[in-house]
Amino acid sequence: NAGVTQTPKFRVLKTGQSMTLLCAQDMNHEYMYWYRQDPGMGLRLIHYSVGEGTTAKGEVPDGYNVSRLKKQNFLLGLESAAPSQTSVYFCASSYRRGHNEQFFGPGTRLTVL
Amino acid sequence: AQSVTQLDSHVSVSEGTPVLLRCNYSSSYSPSLFWYVQHPNKGLQLLLKYTSAATLVKGINGFEAEFKKSETSFHLTKPSAHMSDAAEYFCVVSGGSQGNLIFGKGTKLSVKP
């Protein structure tokens, strides 16, 4: 099993450009999450999904959109990138909400110039 | 509401000496607690988890943590540090309002030869 995979691994954007980050998991998990990691801030939740076709906002959702058309995939979109979105983005999945451990992808390092 | 505080942003030890990474938590109910490790430019890996069973939890690579309800602490320890332990460690509590994990800000562990 590949676990949780993310593409791309690195990306550089100019302000105003758009892009989509793809997360895929092969563990048949219902729940998927997108986090961003910034120095000294830990990980903060952007959006999450509790199942195919459902998404919800997390702690820092502004400037991002998500879609979960298939159970195994969770897409994170930036419609008009800003320098404040320079970060490392992690996708995670879990079998259940709450107390269940989450499995993380390797991350996408995004720089917005 | 759940929260977690890692008491040290940086800990430096010599190889072969004990490691102590401190974590206090706040939770309105009995939480699940986790320690994750992140090696440079890598994703997050689960070290260990506490889910209301034994209060002393053993994890991978010789790490363990003790859940102390009276002190609301979940400190991570290892008897003898190895160079490969140099990484950033995150204390995490479950049960965020969106079912997500709440991350501490991280403790960077340096190991000197």
Tokens 């917005």 belong to residue: A112
Amino acid (1-letter code) at residue B112:
K
Out of B42, B45, B99, the one facing A31 most closely (by C-beta) is B99
Interface A–B counts its CB contacts (< 8 A) at: 54
The secondary structure element, H or E, covering residue A42 is none
Q: B57 CA to chain A: closest CA distance, Å?
A: 15
SS3 of B35-101: the string is EEEECCCCCEEEEEEECCCCCEEECHHHCEEEEECCCCEEEEEECCCCHHHCEEEEEEECCCCCCCC
Closest-CA residue to B36 (of B110, B91, B95): B91
pLDDT of residue B31: 82
% of chain B surpassing 90 pLDDT: 73
Instruction: Please answer yes or no on whether B43 and A104 come within 8 Å at the CB atom.
Output: yes
pLDDT of residue A2: 80
Pairwise CA distance, residues A35 & A49, whole Å = 12
Closest-CA residue to A77 (of A1, A22, A6): A22
Pairwise CA distance, residues A24 & A11, whole Å = 18
Q: A66 CA to chain B: closest CA distance, Å?
A: 16
Strand pairing category for B23-26 and B3-6: antiparallel
pLDDT of residue B9: 94
Q: Choose from B98, B102, B103 for mutation: most chain A CBs within 10 A.
A: B98
pLDDT of residue B58: 95
3-class state of residue A83 by DSSP: helix
pLDDT by 10s per residue, chain B, length 113: 788 999 999 999 999 999 999 999 998 777 889 999 999 888 899 999 998 778 899 999 999 999 998 999 999 999 999 999 999 999 999 866 666 788 999 999 999 99
Q: Choose from B48, B101, B107 for mutation: most chain A CBs within 10 A.
A: B101
pLDDT tens string B68-99: 989 999 999 999 999 999 999 999 998 666 66
Instruction: Please answer yes or no on whether A45 and B98 come within 8 Å at the CB atom.
Output: yes
Q: Could you tell me if A36 and A86 are in contact, meaning their C-beta atoms sit under 8 angstroms apart?
A: no
Pairwise CA distance, residues B101 & A92, whole Å = 10
Q: Choose from A35, A46, A96, A99 for mutation: most chain B CBs within 10 A.
A: A99
pLDDT tens string A17-70: 999 999 999 999 999 999 999 988 889 999 999 999 999 999 899 999 999 999
pLDDT of residue B99: 66
pLDDT of residue B96: 63
HSE (side-chain half, CA atoms, 13 Å) at B26: 7
